[in-house]
Structure 1
């Protein structure tokens, strides 16, 4: 996905970031696959989880298939530039990660279960890359929306670290930070791998083969 400019492997400072713009990117009203609102309003009782695991196309498809997920979208999170474009994010000069927003019903799927998918379905030890996708926009990150989410993320990271080490992986480099502004990506990126768009499109997502023990590190403690 490094289609525009050279991939960047060093985080840009806020003072050096691109200025961006005030106008948000317009996105479709409905999810291409689930038929639910992309930008709300979301059903009462639902919660939001934001994850970055590399190229966001495959990550979004991974989560929209889960029972209990109400809607998903792809966007840019964790950076400095307001309302960035894809080209700007790929330049490495906005500080954003390619992220997926997951709106879920906690009565049907827990945040801990989403974290299990997050940890197992990519390599969280690679720093500013994911496989052949190199640059700060491909970093691993969890942007939490509550103290409960923060605690669950940190607890699962602590439990998963020795399991990855036993399997020969390096230390976890996943960023865990409070959720800031989330900027929707362009229309053509939303549900990019759906059957009506690009069912055989690029997906660099690769499971790491190490099981994360959710029963031991559930959000309930």
Structure 2
């Protein structure tokens, strides 16, 4: 992999091909006890977020009351059913992504967006701290028009907060989920699911990032 610029987005026709076989994972969330795959209960919605390493990002969201299920995966690229090793090369186009299934009657979208903005640095393109590459890019992939509009409005709101504190411009990719790469969320390997519950002392570079969204 010498000579590859991991911070440059791979073109669709240059991405790894991948495979037809889907990743085999457990049926249930290790913390919440809910299904990892749909169909979801009536009235629930799905939001996809990329905040760098999905281990810490997933834990942030499964701890929020009203979140029904979370899962670690890959989204925004073109390789079919990628594995972790392939994603780490930046040759798939995916970013590490958390699938957040939530009940809007119990938790607001604004609460989820606040957790997103406050717990990573959205101003560093294709990296989070020492994690460098397109797989660590900041992203929100919306599944409804209302989510998309709310995400874009929240970006403007948070940019005002950041600018007031002399931070840089937000580089977060915001797009309809159907237009993010091939439009598919691919589940990551089973050992990634609920990783920080299974490994409490595992690597995590997430936490409050100095500027409040409120």
Structure-2-length-normalised TM-score:
0.94
2:189 corresponds to which of 186, 189, 206 = 186
Cα distance in 1 between the residues matched to 2:154 and 2:60: 20
Q: What is the match of residue 93 of structure 1? A: 91
Structure with a larger share of its residues in helix: 2
Cα deviation for residue 44 of structure 1 reads 1.4
Q: Structure 2 regions of 5+ residues with no counterpart?
A: 178-182
Counterpart of 2:207 in structure 1 is 206
Distance in 1 separating the partners of 2:186 and 2:81: 6
Q: Number of residue pairs matched?
A: 208
The 5 Å alignment of 1:56-135 reads 56-135=54-133
CA distance in 2, matches of 1:12, 1:193: 30
Q: Secondary structure at the match of 2:195?
A: coil
Indicate how the Cα distance of structure 1 residues 186 and 7 shifts in structure 2: closer, same or farther if over 3 A, else same.
farther
Please identify, of 164-173 and 136-145, the stretch whose mean Cα deviation from structure 2 is larger.
164-173
**Residue pair 1:123, 1:206 contacting (<8 A) in 2 also:** no
Cα deviation, residue 212, structure 1: 1.1
TM alignment of 1:149-188, pairs within 5 A: 149-179=147-177, 180-188=183-191
TM-score, normalization by structure 1: 0.91
CA displacement 1:38-96 (0-9 Å, x = unmatched): 01222111110100000000000010000000010000000011100000000010000
35-44 or 94-103, which moves further after superposition?
Answer: 35-44
Deviation at 1:27, TM superposition (A): 1.1
SS in 2 for 1:88: helix
Other structure's SS at 2:200 match: coil
Q: Determine the C-alpha separation between the residues in 1 that align with 2:142 and 2:9.
A: 20
Q: CA contact under 8 A between 1:123 and 1:207: conserved in structure 2?
A: no
Q: Report the CA distance between 1:166 and its aligned residue.
A: 1.6
Over aligned residues, Cα RMSD in angstroms?
1.4
Q: Distance in 2 between matches of 1:135 and 1:54?
A: 9
**Runs of 5+ unmatched residues, structure 1:** 214-221
**Native 8 Å contact 1:57 1:192 kept in 2:** yes
